[in-house]
Structure 1
Protein backbone atom coordinates (compact mmCIF):
# COMPACT_ATOMS: atom_id res chain seq x y z
CA UNK A 1 0.00 0.00 0.00
CA UNK A 2 1.32 3.45 -0.85
CA UNK A 3 1.95 5.78 2.05
CA UNK A 4 -0.11 8.89 2.54
CA UNK A 5 1.37 12.21 3.34
CA UNK A 6 0.31 13.80 6.59
CA UNK A 7 -2.74 16.01 6.19
CA UNK A 8 -3.89 14.55 2.85
CA UNK A 9 -7.43 13.18 2.85
CA UNK A 10 -8.00 9.45 2.73
CA UNK A 11 -9.29 8.14 -0.61
CA UNK A 12 -13.04 7.58 -0.80
CA UNK A 13 -13.94 3.92 -0.60
CA UNK A 14 -17.49 2.74 -1.11
CA UNK A 15 -18.91 -0.55 -0.02
CA UNK A 16 -21.11 -2.54 -2.37
CA UNK A 17 -24.15 -1.08 -0.64
CA UNK A 18 -22.77 2.45 -1.04
CA UNK A 19 -22.19 1.90 -4.76
CA UNK A 20 -25.80 0.72 -5.17
CA UNK A 21 -27.06 3.83 -3.37
CA UNK A 22 -25.00 6.07 -5.66
CA UNK A 23 -26.31 4.29 -8.78
CA UNK A 24 -29.93 4.62 -7.60
CA UNK A 25 -29.45 8.32 -6.82
CA UNK A 26 -27.93 8.92 -10.26
CA UNK A 27 -30.86 7.15 -11.92
CA UNK A 28 -33.36 9.24 -9.96
CA UNK A 29 -31.58 12.45 -10.94
CA UNK A 30 -31.53 11.36 -14.60
CA UNK A 31 -35.27 10.57 -14.51
CA UNK A 32 -35.98 13.94 -12.93
CA UNK A 33 -33.97 15.75 -15.59
CA UNK A 34 -35.73 13.80 -18.36
CA UNK A 35 -39.16 14.61 -16.91
CA UNK A 36 -38.25 18.28 -16.58
CA UNK A 37 -37.00 18.50 -20.16
CA UNK A 38 -40.14 16.71 -21.39
CA UNK A 39 -42.36 19.15 -19.49
CA UNK A 40 -40.45 22.15 -20.85
CA UNK A 41 -40.77 20.90 -24.42
CA UNK A 42 -44.50 20.35 -23.96
CA UNK A 43 -44.54 16.65 -24.76
CA UNK A 44 -47.08 14.40 -23.09
CA UNK A 45 -49.96 16.89 -23.23
CA UNK A 46 -51.57 15.21 -26.25
CA UNK A 47 -53.00 12.37 -24.15
CA UNK A 48 -54.82 14.78 -21.89
CA UNK A 49 -57.17 15.85 -24.68
CA UNK A 50 -58.62 12.34 -24.79
CA UNK A 51 -59.78 12.61 -21.19
CA UNK A 52 -61.21 16.12 -21.37
CA UNK A 53 -65.00 16.23 -21.26
CA UNK A 54 -67.64 18.89 -21.00
CA UNK A 55 -71.38 18.72 -20.52
CA UNK A 56 -74.50 20.19 -22.06
CA UNK A 57 -78.09 20.50 -20.83
CA UNK A 58 -80.57 19.30 -23.44
CA UNK A 59 -83.11 21.95 -24.44
CA UNK A 60 -86.40 21.35 -26.34
CA UNK A 61 -85.64 20.61 -29.98
CA UNK A 62 -82.16 19.24 -29.36
CA UNK A 63 -81.21 15.89 -30.87
CA UNK A 64 -78.06 13.86 -30.52
CA UNK A 65 -77.33 14.69 -34.14
CA UNK A 66 -77.62 18.45 -33.59
CA UNK A 67 -75.47 18.35 -30.46
CA UNK A 68 -72.83 16.11 -32.07
CA UNK A 69 -72.72 18.08 -35.32
CA UNK A 70 -72.14 21.28 -33.36
CA UNK A 71 -69.00 19.87 -31.78
CA UNK A 72 -67.77 17.37 -34.39
CA UNK A 73 -65.62 19.78 -36.40
CA UNK A 74 -63.99 17.65 -39.10
CA UNK A 75 -64.83 14.36 -37.39
CA UNK A 76 -67.65 12.12 -38.53
CA UNK A 77 -70.84 13.11 -36.68
CA UNK A 78 -71.85 9.46 -36.30
CA UNK A 79 -68.65 8.68 -34.41
CA UNK A 80 -69.26 11.64 -32.09
CA UNK A 81 -72.83 10.40 -31.47
CA UNK A 82 -71.45 6.95 -30.60
CA UNK A 83 -69.00 8.50 -28.12
CA UNK A 84 -71.77 10.60 -26.51
CA UNK A 85 -73.96 7.52 -26.16
CA UNK A 86 -71.07 5.54 -24.67
CA UNK A 87 -70.14 8.30 -22.21
CA UNK A 88 -73.73 8.67 -21.02
CA UNK A 89 -74.81 5.03 -21.10
CA UNK A 90 -77.55 5.72 -23.65
CA UNK A 91 -79.17 2.70 -25.33
CA UNK A 92 -80.87 4.81 -28.00
CA UNK A 93 -80.68 8.25 -29.58
CA UNK A 94 -83.64 9.48 -27.56
CA UNK A 95 -82.88 12.37 -25.17
CA UNK A 96 -85.11 14.52 -22.95
CA UNK A 97 -85.11 18.29 -22.29
CA UNK A 98 -83.29 19.02 -19.03
CA UNK A 99 -81.07 15.94 -19.37
CA UNK A 100 -77.36 16.60 -18.79
CA UNK A 101 -75.09 14.93 -21.33
CA UNK A 102 -71.34 14.49 -20.96
CA UNK A 103 -69.56 15.37 -24.19
CA UNK A 104 -66.21 14.01 -25.42
Structure 2
Protein backbone atom coordinates (compact mmCIF):
# COMPACT_ATOMS: atom_id res chain seq x y z
CA UNK A 1 0.00 0.00 0.00
CA UNK A 2 1.34 3.41 -0.97
CA UNK A 3 0.80 6.28 1.39
CA UNK A 4 -0.04 9.64 -0.23
CA UNK A 5 2.73 12.16 0.19
CA UNK A 6 2.20 15.82 0.94
CA UNK A 7 4.97 18.27 0.25
CA UNK A 8 6.61 19.40 3.47
CA UNK A 9 5.18 16.46 5.38
CA UNK A 10 7.45 14.67 7.82
CA UNK A 11 5.40 11.48 7.47
CA UNK A 12 6.79 10.61 4.05
CA UNK A 13 8.03 7.08 3.65
CA UNK A 14 9.30 5.86 0.31
CA UNK A 15 7.48 2.93 -1.22
CA UNK A 16 9.61 -0.25 -1.55
CA UNK A 17 9.35 -2.29 -4.70
CA UNK A 18 8.16 -5.84 -4.36
CA UNK A 19 11.36 -7.32 -5.75
CA UNK A 20 14.18 -5.57 -3.98
CA UNK A 21 17.88 -6.35 -4.29
CA UNK A 22 19.72 -8.67 -1.92
CA UNK A 23 23.45 -8.97 -1.37
CA UNK A 24 25.00 -12.17 -2.70
CA UNK A 25 28.44 -13.35 -1.64
CA UNK A 26 31.14 -13.55 -4.32
CA UNK A 27 32.35 -17.02 -5.34
CA UNK A 28 35.70 -18.19 -4.00
CA UNK A 29 38.38 -17.20 -6.55
CA UNK A 30 40.32 -20.42 -5.90
CA UNK A 31 37.45 -22.63 -6.99
CA UNK A 32 37.42 -23.65 -10.64
CA UNK A 33 33.65 -23.58 -11.02
CA UNK A 34 31.65 -20.45 -11.65
CA UNK A 35 28.68 -20.04 -9.41
CA UNK A 36 25.53 -18.90 -11.15
CA UNK A 37 22.87 -16.82 -9.49
CA UNK A 38 19.70 -18.64 -8.48
CA UNK A 39 16.79 -18.32 -10.94
CA UNK A 40 14.99 -15.88 -8.62
CA UNK A 41 17.80 -13.35 -9.21
CA UNK A 42 18.11 -13.87 -12.96
CA UNK A 43 17.85 -10.86 -15.21
CA UNK A 44 14.58 -10.48 -17.10
CA UNK A 45 14.62 -11.59 -20.71
CA UNK A 46 15.00 -8.89 -23.33
CA UNK A 47 12.44 -8.23 -26.03
CA UNK A 48 14.90 -9.47 -28.67
CA UNK A 49 15.05 -12.89 -27.00
CA UNK A 50 18.57 -12.55 -25.57
CA UNK A 51 19.36 -12.60 -21.90
CA UNK A 52 18.27 -14.77 -19.04
CA UNK A 53 14.83 -16.06 -18.31
CA UNK A 54 13.11 -15.60 -14.99
CA UNK A 55 11.31 -18.89 -15.13
CA UNK A 56 12.60 -21.49 -12.63
CA UNK A 57 12.80 -24.39 -15.09
CA UNK A 58 14.64 -22.43 -17.80
CA UNK A 59 17.60 -24.04 -19.56
CA UNK A 60 19.28 -20.66 -20.23
CA UNK A 61 21.78 -19.91 -17.45
CA UNK A 62 21.69 -16.51 -15.82
CA UNK A 63 24.63 -14.08 -16.00
CA UNK A 64 26.23 -11.89 -13.38
CA UNK A 65 26.93 -8.24 -14.08
CA UNK A 66 30.58 -9.01 -14.89
CA UNK A 67 29.84 -11.66 -17.54
CA UNK A 68 29.36 -10.61 -21.18
CA UNK A 69 27.51 -12.35 -23.90
CA UNK A 70 29.83 -13.45 -26.74
CA UNK A 71 27.12 -12.99 -29.37
CA UNK A 72 26.74 -9.24 -28.68
CA UNK A 73 29.54 -6.93 -29.86
CA UNK A 74 30.87 -4.17 -27.68
CA UNK A 75 28.98 -0.90 -28.21
CA UNK A 76 30.07 2.58 -27.32
CA UNK A 77 27.89 5.43 -26.19
CA UNK A 78 28.00 8.78 -27.94
CA UNK A 79 30.19 10.14 -25.16
CA UNK A 80 32.53 7.16 -25.47
CA UNK A 81 32.89 7.60 -29.24
CA UNK A 82 33.54 11.31 -28.76
CA UNK A 83 36.23 10.57 -26.20
CA UNK A 84 37.78 7.78 -28.27
CA UNK A 85 38.01 9.93 -31.40
CA UNK A 86 38.09 13.49 -30.10
CA UNK A 87 40.79 13.17 -27.45
CA UNK A 88 43.56 11.96 -29.81
CA UNK A 89 42.59 14.62 -32.35
CA UNK A 90 42.68 17.37 -29.71
CA UNK A 91 46.07 16.17 -28.44
CA UNK A 92 47.45 16.06 -31.98
CA UNK A 93 46.28 19.60 -32.73
CA UNK A 94 47.82 20.86 -29.48
CA UNK A 95 51.12 19.16 -30.32
CA UNK A 96 51.12 20.72 -33.81
CA UNK A 97 50.46 24.18 -32.39
CA UNK A 98 53.30 23.82 -29.90
CA UNK A 99 55.65 22.55 -32.61
CA UNK A 100 54.73 25.43 -34.93
CA UNK A 101 55.26 27.95 -32.12
CA UNK A 102 58.65 26.43 -31.34
CA UNK A 103 59.84 26.39 -34.94
CA UNK A 104 58.71 29.95 -35.73
CA UNK A 105 60.19 31.49 -32.61
CA UNK A 106 61.73 34.94 -33.11
CA UNK A 107 64.03 34.73 -30.10
CA UNK A 108 67.19 33.38 -31.69
CA UNK A 109 70.80 34.01 -30.84
CA UNK A 110 72.59 36.67 -32.84
CA UNK A 111 75.20 35.65 -35.40
CA UNK A 112 77.88 38.02 -34.19
CA UNK A 113 78.89 39.54 -30.90
CA UNK A 114 77.77 43.13 -30.31
CA UNK A 115 80.36 45.69 -31.26
CA UNK A 116 81.40 48.38 -28.82
CA UNK A 117 81.49 51.94 -30.04
CA UNK A 118 84.27 54.32 -29.28
CA UNK A 119 83.19 57.35 -27.29
CA UNK A 120 84.60 60.82 -26.89
CA UNK A 121 84.16 62.96 -23.78
CA UNK A 122 82.81 66.39 -24.86
CA UNK A 123 82.07 69.56 -22.91
CA UNK A 124 78.87 71.27 -24.14
CA UNK A 125 79.21 74.95 -25.13
CA UNK A 126 76.45 77.56 -24.96
CA UNK A 127 73.70 77.03 -27.60
CA UNK A 128 74.89 73.56 -28.57
CA UNK A 129 72.36 70.69 -28.81
CA UNK A 130 72.66 66.91 -28.92
CA UNK A 131 71.73 67.06 -32.60
CA UNK A 132 74.73 69.34 -33.29
CA UNK A 133 77.03 66.93 -31.41
CA UNK A 134 75.62 63.92 -33.29
CA UNK A 135 76.19 65.57 -36.70
CA UNK A 136 79.73 66.68 -35.77
CA UNK A 137 81.06 63.44 -34.19
CA UNK A 138 79.16 60.78 -36.26
CA UNK A 139 78.41 62.33 -39.66
CA UNK A 140 77.96 58.95 -41.47
CA UNK A 141 75.17 57.81 -39.14
CA UNK A 142 71.57 58.96 -38.77
CA UNK A 143 71.54 61.83 -36.23
CA UNK A 144 68.34 60.49 -34.60
CA UNK A 145 70.05 57.21 -33.75
CA UNK A 146 73.14 58.98 -32.43
CA UNK A 147 71.04 61.33 -30.22
CA UNK A 148 69.20 58.30 -28.77
CA UNK A 149 72.57 56.61 -28.11
CA UNK A 150 73.96 59.73 -26.38
CA UNK A 151 70.89 59.89 -24.11
CA UNK A 152 71.32 56.20 -23.26
CA UNK A 153 75.09 56.38 -22.71
CA UNK A 154 74.81 59.31 -20.29
CA UNK A 155 71.57 58.27 -18.55
CA UNK A 156 69.97 61.61 -19.39
CA UNK A 157 66.31 62.12 -18.39
CA UNK A 158 65.67 63.95 -21.71
CA UNK A 159 67.61 65.43 -24.63
CA UNK A 160 68.23 68.82 -22.99
CA UNK A 161 71.86 69.63 -22.06
CA UNK A 162 73.34 72.60 -20.18
CA UNK A 163 76.39 74.67 -21.15
CA UNK A 164 79.56 73.30 -19.51
CA UNK A 165 78.05 69.79 -19.04
CA UNK A 166 80.44 66.93 -19.86
CA UNK A 167 78.89 64.06 -21.84
CA UNK A 168 80.08 60.97 -23.72
CA UNK A 169 79.41 61.03 -27.49
CA UNK A 170 79.86 58.03 -29.81
CA UNK A 171 82.66 58.82 -32.26
CA UNK A 172 82.98 57.82 -35.92
CA UNK A 173 85.12 54.76 -36.62
TM-score (normalizing by structure 2) = 0.31
Q: Residues of 1 paired with 2:124 and 2:131: CA distance?
A: 12
Identify the residue that residue 165 of structure 2 maps to in structure 1.
Answer: 99
Q: Could you tell me which of 67, 71, 78 is aligned with 2:144?
A: 78
1:1-104 correspondence runs (5 A): 50-104=116-170
Which runs of structure 1 show a deviation greater than 6 angstroms over 4 or more consecutive aligned residues? Answer: none
Q: Residues of 2 paired with 1:51 and 1:70: CA distance?
A: 16
Cα distance, 1:52 vs. partner? 2.2
Q: Residues of 1 paired with 2:129 and 2:120: CA distance?
A: 17
Cα distance, 1:83 vs. partner? 0.6
Shift in CA distance, 61/103, structure 1 to aligned 2, threshold 3 Å: same
Q: Aligned with 1:50: secondary structure? A: coil
Q: Aligned with 1:79: secondary structure? A: helix
Which structure has greater helix proportion? 1
Shift in CA distance, 53/76, structure 1 to aligned 2, threshold 3 Å: same
Structure 2: state its 5+ residue gaps.
Answer: 1-112
Q: Residues of 1 paired with 2:167 and 2:150: CA distance?
A: 8
